[in-house]
Amino acid sequence: MSVTQFCSVVLTVILVCAMLTGSQIPSIQEGQSECPILAEHAREIEKYKPIARKIIDFFLSGDMKGRTYKNLNNFVDNYGPRMLGSSGLRRAVTHVYRGLKRHNFSNVRMEPVNIPVWVRGTESATLLKPRLQRLSMVGLGDSVGTPDGPIRAETIVVRSFKELEALGDKASGKIVVFNQEFISYDESVSYRLNGAIAAAKAGGVAALIRSVTNHSLLTPHTGLMYYQKGVPKIPGACLATEHADLLHRLYQRGEGTPPTSLHHSLASPHHSCGLIVHDELSAGKKLVIQLQMGAHTIQNKTSNNVVADLPGTSLSDKVVLISAHIDSWDIGQGAVDDGGGLMIAWGALVGLKRLGLRPRRTLR
């Protein structure tokens, strides 16, 4: 589904919600496969079919065709990354505010919000032993840094939380690398979110997590991470999948076990039989990584929500909220997260206004 198609679908759903009569909309139960819409609502929704058609046509083949995508492209090109506290975000917020003003929406306003701002600072991770290799890494949002200077520590590599637990106190004082299998974002992201907690509980001094992705060109992915009350806050960062695999192989060879990732591709058992086998190059060798992160958090900074209304008619005190976040991570442009959402929400309001449609409830 293209951004434009998605926009028209979202808009249609929103409009139907905003137009419905005042009765309560039943909540959808998890796992419920039947459509939970009451018969009276179904009849009412049916009446909006021509309007829904009009909206869809307006976005798919009318004046709005390709607009949302084009606006999104312009937006991210012009403002780029929009980290909390960045000039890019400030400029983007002002832009959204002015745009809504220019389109004569009601109650266009900035809502100041007090936020903690996480600052990445400079950062690097370098494999020092068994050989020198600058690692492709990126710090995780909300991570603490290494304010007392780089952490230089022996490193262990595990495939899972379970494997870490099984090591007992072997992780104590060490950097813990999680080279977890990628199952799905929802499942595997748990390592990014909770890796630093698990590593700290095991006595680790930092957590390096395989990027939560199944596709990489030495590309580390960032995202949020968590801390837990009572557990020491240790730095957390993601590694490109290739480097997580590299560390895992070197670690396993150092421990005298054949690399599992190679096992997958080789049917024959591990034996040297007089050939050129270099495993002895790594045998017994420890991994040492140096981690430097300038990450820190500044409290009590101010940013702004931007709010605008398309006032409802008979039920204008009831509000249907269309929302998206303007800010983004710093290492991309936030085109999908959440520039697309922002432009869809914006396009929905503008599209309705241009079609001269006004719902019963206020769209905010």
- Contact residues toward a second copy (CB under 8 A) are 63-67, 69-71, 73-75, 77-80, 87-88, 95, 99, 103, 130-133, 215-219, 246, 249-250, 253, 259, 262, 265-268, 273-279, 281-282, 332, 346-347, 350, 354
Chain-centre distance for alpha carbon 124:
21
Nearer to a second copy, 73 or 190 (CB): 73
Nearer to a second copy, 101 or 318 (CB): 101
Nearer to a second copy, 83 or 196 (CB): 83
Rounded to 10 degrees, the C-alpha dihedral 193/211/195/127 comes to: -150
Nearer to a second copy, 26 or 66 (CB): 66
Minimum Å distance from CB 269 to a second copy?
10
Minimum Å distance from CB 145 to a second copy?
20
Minimum Å distance from CB 105 to a second copy?
12
Alpha-carbon torsion (270, 276, 278, 283), positive or negative: positive
Nearer to a second copy, 130 or 311 (CB): 130
Minimum Å distance from CB 274 to a second copy?
8
Nearer to a second copy, 35 or 217 (CB): 217
Minimum Å distance from CB 37 to a second copy?
33
Minimum Å distance from CB 172 to a second copy?
27
Contact criterion met (CB below 8 Å) for 18 and 359: yes
Minimum Å distance from CB 322 to a second copy?
15
Tokens of 144: 């603490």
Nearer to a second copy, 33 or 265 (CB): 265
